[in-house]
Every structure is written in C-alpha cells, then in structure tokens.
C-alpha cells in the first residue's frame, strides 16, 4: 500500500532509531529515555484505582471533566497568578504531545513558517511538516546557554512567519529563561506579531530561579498557547494527560479537532490528575530535590572527565560536548554503547546543531549515574580521548 509522500518523507524519531540498537542488549545502563525514574505518587494512583471501583469508566466531556478544568484553572492562578477560564480557555489533552499537535493543526495554513529552535524536542519539526507548515530553524549556541535571542527572532522572520515554538526548560539542553530574558524575547515576538506555542512541560523542574510562564508577560496571553502536563513533574508519563490554555477561539478550534480524533482523555487519568493538582505538590518537590542533587553530580563529573558541559537550568538532561573526542555524536553514542554498555542519545536526534553533543538523562538512580559515569571515564581514557 502506498503511504502519503508527506509521511514518507518525515524521518523516524532519532531517539527511537538509536534505541532499537539497545533492545536486546544485556546490562545496559540507559541514560537515554526522557522519563522520570520515579513511580507516580501513591495517593494519585490510589485515586485512579478508587475511581474504577466507583465505576467511573465512561467518556467525559470532550474538553475534559469540569472538576479537572477548574483545578487546572485554580492551580495556575495560585502558582503564577494566571487567569484562564475553566469553561472555554482550557482543554484537557492526551499529554502535551496531543496539545502540541492540536495547536499546530488549529493555527497553521499551508506554507506558513514556524520558528523552531535547533536543537529541540524531536516532535516539533515533523508535526509542523504534517500540518503543512515549514519549519525555520534557529540554531542556538552553547556560548549563549542554547537560548534564542530577540535578534534571532528578527533575523529568521519573513512575511510568512506565523508562529514560534518555545520550550523551556528545554529538552534536550536544559536551557531556561529568566523573567528578564523572556521580557526581551516577548518584545520581539510582539513586534513580529507571532503566535507562541509555549511548551512548559518541565516548568516545575527549574532549579536556579522561579519559572515564569510566557503568558504572564504584558500582551502575551492573547498570542500564546500554553502547554503543560503531568508526565514529568508528577511522574505520570503512562497516564497520557496534559492541558492546553489559550484564547477561547483557539481552544474552540483545538476542541473541534480533539473531539473528532481523541474524543476525550481516559476518565481514570483525569481522576488521577485532579488528585495530583490537589495533593501532589509534596511529591513534585521531593523529586525536584533529587533531580537537583543528581544534576550537581552529573555536571561536575562530566566536566571532570573532559566532556565540557554547561549547567542546565532545568529539566533532567545534560547536554555535554563530545567535540574533544573528534567522534561524531552517532559514533560516540554507538561506541559507548558497544564498548561500555551505556546508552545516551546522539545530539543529532534533536537537529543538525546537536552534532558534537550527546544527551544524558539524569532521571536515573544515583547508583546508576555513578556507574555510568565511571564507564564513560574508562571509555575516554581507554581510547585516549580525554579532552
């Protein structure tokens, strides 16, 4: 059967391609997947179990349960002072993944250009393509902490530019923006009249300063689609639940697509999410403390063994340079896997600017991280690659 040319032409995820190699290998320490190593807190799991016992097994409103939308609204108000109306400015989605897809499907016309950072999360470019848009990549540099600048926005905009995708803290670099930096960025965004899709899924894992949602800045709420979810902060990747907040006409458009495709998020996940927002903060803070401790360890060890690494401001990824080894990212990751059984992701999985870097997830136990870094040190000295 012939599949569409558009689908044929989008590449498979670089992470998947690499991790097919890992499958079937024994004793591998995987620092590859972007997923918390914690299990969802017991009170959240218990709420879902209890909801099944109570017989909650039906569809819900397409937009998501009213109680959950009210909780999202309350949570954002308490945490950031944001005002989103639960009735028509919030949509419960199947993770940020669906929220992202719906956002683009709702705003993009064929041929629209969308600014995407390079490197960035693997889904952005392909989804822009699937929606008929064209990604225009902004190369971000380590000297600048892998951040987009207002000058970058000015330089990459054309008459066709419709939107910019921002993700902070970032997967894969861990880069985030202070309020001051966001103010400068938002001035450029307003001037160019762009829509922002702001993927803030790692917002609760910001270590050195308070996270600022882009939509709290003056005049930004009306041009921002704010995406967040439960996967990372609440360790709920398998529950597949997130939410989108945006102006009501945008949420109405997104809800239309969502009702024909997903209909709604599973009711037990919605029940669990209500509990997470009401009583989950303590577990979020506990996990955050642990990630922060691991960040200190991993970054200092990487620099010590000769892989220069900037300090990520958030998320749970380190993005060290491997340029001192003269290997490509793919060669480095493949040889490290073969010779020392440590799996990391080649930086090129996140775009061409990822060449010369690898992504290491520190959402793994301290014990595993220590062993993995010892193996990496041995790999470098054995091959006389110490930088």
Ligand X SMILES: Cc1ncc(COP(=O)(O)O)c(C=O)c1O
Site residues (CB under 6 A) for ligand X? 34, 95-97, 121, 167, 171, 199, 201, 229, 231, 237, 242
Cβ proximity to ligand X, 65 vs 327, nearer residue: 65
Task: Check the CA dihedral 295-40-73-224 and report its sign.
Answer: positive
Strand positions, DSSP E, the chain: 29-30, 90-93, 113-118, 134-139, 161-167, 195-199, 224-229, 242-245, 317-318, 342-343, 345-346, 358-361
Cβ proximity to ligand X, 33 vs 252, nearer residue: 33
- The CB-of-54 to ligand X minimum distance in angstroms stands at 26
Cβ proximity to ligand X, 121 vs 332, nearer residue: 121
Residues in the chain: 387
Phi, psi of 15 (to 5 degrees): -70, -45
Residue of this chain nearest to ligand X (CB atom): 95
Q: Exposed (0-12), middle (13-18) or buried (19+): which is 21, by Cβ within 10 Å?
A: middle
Which residue, among 40, 43, 70, 67, has the nearest Cα to 56 in the 3D structure? 67
- The CB-of-124 to ligand X minimum distance in angstroms stands at 8
Cβ proximity to ligand X, 237 vs 324, nearer residue: 237
Cβ proximity to ligand X, 216 vs 227, nearer residue: 227
- The CB-of-150 to ligand X minimum distance in angstroms stands at 22
What is 233-249 written as a DSSP string?
TTT-GGG--EEEE--HH
Pairwise CA distance, residues 61 & 64, whole Å: 5
- The CB-of-36 to ligand X minimum distance in angstroms stands at 10
Asked whether the beta carbons of 84 and 245 are under 8 A apart, the reply is: yes
> Taking the mean position of all CA atoms in its chain, how far away is CA 354?
16
Cβ proximity to ligand X, 95 vs 142, nearer residue: 95
Asked whether the beta carbons of 196 and 220 are under 8 A apart, the reply is: yes
Cβ proximity to ligand X, 265 vs 327, nearer residue: 265
- The CB-of-111 to ligand X minimum distance in angstroms stands at 25
Cβ proximity to ligand X, 131 vs 380, nearer residue: 131
- The CB-of-231 to ligand X minimum distance in angstroms stands at 3
Pairwise CA distance, residues 150 & 166, whole Å: 13
Pairwise CA distance, residues 303 & 296, whole Å: 11
Cβ proximity to ligand X, 93 vs 283, nearer residue: 93
Alpha helices in 139-205 (DSSP H): 150-156, 179-191
- The CB-of-167 to ligand X minimum distance in angstroms stands at 5
- The CB-of-381 to ligand X minimum distance in angstroms stands at 33
Beta bridge partner(s), residue 227: 199, 244
- The CB-of-362 to ligand X minimum distance in angstroms stands at 14
């Amino acid at each position: 059967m012939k599949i569409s040319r558009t689908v044929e032409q989008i590449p498979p995820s670089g992470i998947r391609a690499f991790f097919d190699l890992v499958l079937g290998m024994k004793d591998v320490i995987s620092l590859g997947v972007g997923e918390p190593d914690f299990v969802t807190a017991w009170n959240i799991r218990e709420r879902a179990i209890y909801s099944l016992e109570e017989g909650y097994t039906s569809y819900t409103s397409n937009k998501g349960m009213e109680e959950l939308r009210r909780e999202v609204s309350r949570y954002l108000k308490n945490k950031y002072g944001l005002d989103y109306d639960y009735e028509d400015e919030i949509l419960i989605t199947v993770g940020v993944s669906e929220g992202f897809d719906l956002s683009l499907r709702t705003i993009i016309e064929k041929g629209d250009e969308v600014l995407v950072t390079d490197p960035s999360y693997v889904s952005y470019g392909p989804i822009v393509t699937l929606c008929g848009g064209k990604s225009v990549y902004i190369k971000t540099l380590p000297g600048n902490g892998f951040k987009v600048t207002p000058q970058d926005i000015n330089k990459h905009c054309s008459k066709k530019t419709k939107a910019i995708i921002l993700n902070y803290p970032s997967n894969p670099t861990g880069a985030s923006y202070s309020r001051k930096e966001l103010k400068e960025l938002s001035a450029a965004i307003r001037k160019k009249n762009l829509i922002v899709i702001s993927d803030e899924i790692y917002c609760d894992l910001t270590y050195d300063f308070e996270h600022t949602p882009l939509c709290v800045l003056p005049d930004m709420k009306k041009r921002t689609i704010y995406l967040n979810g439960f996967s990372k902060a609440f360790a709920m990747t398998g529950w597949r639940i997130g939410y989108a907040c945006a102006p009501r006409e945008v949420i109405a458009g997104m809800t239309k697509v969502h009702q024909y495709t997903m209909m709604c998020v599973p009711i037990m996940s919605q029940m669990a999410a209500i509990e997470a927002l009401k009583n989950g903060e303590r577990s979020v803070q506990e996990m955050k403390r642990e990630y922060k401790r691991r960040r200190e360890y991993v970054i200092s060890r990487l620099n010590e063994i000769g892989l220069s690494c900037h300090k990520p401001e958030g998320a749970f990824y380190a993005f060290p340079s491997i340029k001192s080894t003269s290997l490509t990212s793919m060669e480095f990751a493949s040889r490290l896997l073969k010779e020392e059984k440590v799996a990391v992701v080649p930086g090129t999985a996140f775009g061409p600017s990822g060449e010369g870097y690898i992504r290491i997830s520190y959402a793994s136990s301290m014990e595993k991280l220590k062993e993995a870094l010892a193996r990496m040190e041995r790999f470098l000295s054995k091959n006389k690659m110490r930088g």
